[in-house]
Amino acid sequence: MEINLPDVLAEVTAAFERYERALNDNDVA
């Protein structure tokens, strides 16, 4: 299995940003 680190990092970063935005929108700490 080939791992393209920049692509993986971008995907993880995007997922984290969506998660953080969801927390902020729902105001759940």
Q: What is the pTM of this model?
A: 0.60
For the chain, the structural domain boundaries read 1-29
pLDDT exceeds 90 at position 3: no
pLDDT exceeds 80 at position 25: yes
Assign 19 a pLDDT band (cuts: 50, 70, 90). Answer: very high
Section 5-28 average pLDDT: 91
What is the pLDDT, as a whole number, of residue 28?
61
Q: What Å distances lie between residue 29 and 2, 4, 13, 15, 16, CA to CA?
A: 37, 33, 20, 18, 15
Task: Report residue 18 as tokens.
Answer: 């969506």
